[in-house]
Amino acid sequence: MGPRIRPFAALVLLAMGLSFAPAVPAIASHPRIGSRIPAGSTSAAGWSSSNWSGYAVTGGPYTSITGEWNVPAVASTKKASYSSNWIGIDGFNNSQLIQTGTEQDFYNGRAHYGAWWEILPAAETVIPTLTINPGDHMRSSIAKGAGSTWTITLTDVSSGQSFSISKTYTGPLTSAEWIEEAPTVGGRVATLAHYGSSVFDPGTVNGASPSFVASEGGVMVQSRLQVSTPSLPDAEGDGFAAAYGSAVPAAPAS
């Protein structure tokens, strides 16, 4: 499966005669899942992808998800590189998805950070009211209300800024994810930014711990190199760390 191609949010501004360097490029709709972990990997993860790493649970129906993470600081790279942290429902084994998260990129000689939400097949929507900085602690939730109404909430705990919106979503509700991603930019999976490390903890699904197991984790492989690796789940089964590269990071402390 390949990522769904979507236009930059900047295209709307360009059509109006304005220039804009997008801090939040298009987000891939679902992972390119590999059948096996690359040879030599020290991870106990159960799947690999060219654009996702993290944890995904399947089954459902999933009607709510929460997640928290720290916004990683991206390092300088010679070529443009991109990364995104997010939570979502669906997308792992289908082309529908409701999600929200942050973006951490390096291009045009400097780092860029931003926040967004998205419901496929529409393009992502940047959240201009949230000013994101590296190190910020994010808290997010996506929850089903009456009928097909869902509420998406993203809060920057460090700054006290918060965003919430209610939208219609009618996906199959068969997966829930906590993901570090290399977004789709210009129709191709981007080179993953050197994001260092990030911790996703705690998370819930349907109001309870996801009870992660190692096989629900996935590594990211680009150009035959393992570029993003999750830790084993923490003791509570509701959190994990992710790190740039192939080394397995330590799980978050209880």
Q: CATH number, domain at 25?
A: 2.60.120.700
Residue 3 resides in a domain: no
Report whether the peptide linkage leading into residue 210 is cis, meaning its omega lies within 30 degrees of zero.
no
pLDDT at 176: 97
Tally the domains of the chain.
1
pLDDT at 186: 81
Q: For the whole model, what pTM was predicted?
A: 0.87
Residue 175 resides in a domain: yes
Residue 89 resides in a domain: yes
Residue 1 resides in a domain: no
Which parts of the chain have pLDDT scores under 70? 1-42
Residue 137 resides in a domain: yes
CA 238/CA 205 separation, integer angstroms: 9
Owning domain of residue 197: 10-244
Chain segment 213-234, per-residue pLDDT in tens: 999 999 999 998 999 999 999 9
Residue 46 resides in a domain: yes
pLDDT at 192: 97
pLDDT at 240: 98
Residue 82 resides in a domain: yes
Residue 131 resides in a domain: yes
CA distances from 182 to 9, 54, 81, 116 (A): 17, 12, 8, 15
